[in-house]
Structure formats: C-alpha cells, structure tokens
Chain A
Amino acid sequence: MTAEADRSGGCQCGAVRYHVKGELGYPHLCHCRMCQKAAGNYFMPLAAVMRSDFTLTRGAPKWFQSSDLVRRGFCGDCGTPLFYDIPETDFINLTLGSLDDPDAVKPVMQSNTGRKMSRFHTLDGLPLEPQPETPDRENAIAASNHQHPDHDTKSWPLGESS
C-alpha cells in the first residue's frame, strides 16, 4: 500500500524542511535496536520516497553513519531524527513523525521484531493522564512555542514572516 500526495515535513525547530511528491513507499515500523536507539524510543516509523521526488527546502541535516551501509540524518539544531539513508539506492526513508501530517500515512508493516518492545501491544490500553486543573502551563507553552508549525513557511525563524 502506498500513499500518493505532495507532502512536507521537517524537524522540530524548522531549520531543516523537506518536500516529497509521488508515492510514499512501504510505511512501516522498524523495531531494530539501531532504530530504537536513533529514535530514543521503542521503534522508528519510516517510509521511502524516490530521490527524484525528494527535495530539501530549507537547511540540511547532519548525518551519523550508523554502519558502513546506512547513515541517519537529523537536525543539528534540535536533534529531530529525519532520515534513514542507504546512499547507493535511488530512494530515501523519512521518519513519519517528522511529516506535517503524520496521521495521513498508514503504516502497513512491521520489521525487525527480534528486539521489539515486549509491551508494545499494551501501550494503547494504558490509563490516560488526567487533564491539568488549570490551563496555565499549556497556555505558557502555546505562547512561547518554538516548534515549527505543521506547514511550510516563507521564512525562518518564525516571527519575521510566517
């Protein structure tokens, strides 16, 4: 299954932004320990796009060569994991959480489940934190939010002209 549309995404601070067109191939969750570690998390959600359909529209990632075969791209300013790249191929993988609309891409597969977090299937059943008694903290965060919005912007950082 693939998803076909023009899509944008980028890191948390907005220093690195990208645009993809055409199909996003093989949206999946990788549970290998290298993806867990690179994500600081339980898995890394990834999908592939042809290099010819991929454009960096602002900035450039830093790269960490996690093995001789694979390099991982992230924002040098805020750290967001962005890309899983095998340079000899004609495609690049991007992290689904970095898309402006992650919910629009449905994962279709899981991979490398040998180190899969044993309680993965229980996560959605966890009890929900109660809502805060006052909105003060949420309001303070909203008023000082330094995260790039979930759409492309003409200039960066925000405040100059969004």
Chain B
Amino acid sequence: MTDTTKTGGCQCGAVRFRISGRLGRPSICHCRMCQKQFGGFFSALVTTPEEGMEWTRGEPSYFQSSVNIERGFCSNCGTPMTYRHPGGLELAIGTFDDRSDLAPLIQ
C-alpha cells in the first residue's frame, strides 16, 4: 500500500516503532477478542513488512490470547499496539503518527 518510512507509538511514548517498506492491507476486525483487546467496537490493523520493522524505543508487553496469538501493549500507558499471528505482525492503525494513507479496505 505504501512504501515510505512510517513511525508511531503508544500514547506515552515509551514504545515507538519505525517501518521501512511496504505495509500490507489495512483492515478492521469485529471479533470479540479484538473488541476486548482494544476496549472498543473493533480493531483497525495493518500488516507490517517481514523486514524493515524496528522498535526504536522500548518494546510492547504481550498477552497470549490463544495458542498462536500474541497481543502487544505498552506496559506504561496501556495502548494496544500489536496483533501477532503465525503469518505475521499487525500494528494498530491508531498508533501511527500519520494515518492518512492507511484506509481500511476490508472488514
């Protein structure tokens, strides 16, 4: 979708990331697990490239919500940040500094 460098992080800034490369398809998910992780009505996630994703400050803490799924958040401020499944790592769109080119394409 986009091939530029993008940055983002949690609300307090203890966890920050930078991504170089092409992001995957932005989507929203209405499953009860995502609703609960985000305390909201759905999650909005985008797949990160296999290479080019780095944590530039701190790292998330993780909750293993089921056998293959880890959900990351900032342990200092709580911002939900990541959804990791066997096929890759997805980032919460709300954590990006610039979200203008991350329109969800599917639900």
Q: Which residues of A contact B (CB under 8 A)?
A: 11-13, 34, 36-45, 62, 64, 66, 72-82, 95-98, 102, 117, 119, 123, 126-129, 140-147, 150
B37–A66 touching, CB < 8 Å = no
A80–B37 touching, CB < 8 Å = yes
CB closest chain-A residue, reference B40: A97
Q: What would 6 more interface pairs be, CB under 8 Å, given A37-B94, A66-B77?
A: A39-B40, A41-B80, A79-B37, A97-B35, A97-B39, A141-B67
Distance between Cα atoms of A145 and B39 in the complex (Å): 17
B38–A147 touching, CB < 8 Å = no
Given contacts A38-B78, A129-B107, contact A145 B66 (CB under 8 A): yes
Against A, the Cβ 8 Å flags (1 = close, 0 = not) of B83-96 are 00000000011110
* Interface residues contributed by chain B, number (CB under 8 Å): 46
B67–A12 touching, CB < 8 Å = no
* Residues from chain B with Cβ under 8 Å of A72 in the complex: 11, 77-78
B79–A79 touching, CB < 8 Å = yes
CB closest chain-A residue, reference B27: A129
* Residues from chain B with Cβ under 8 Å of A64 in the complex: 11-12, 76-78
Distance between Cα atoms of A79 and B66 in the complex (Å): 15
Given contacts A40-B95, A97-B38, contact A79 B63 (CB under 8 A): yes
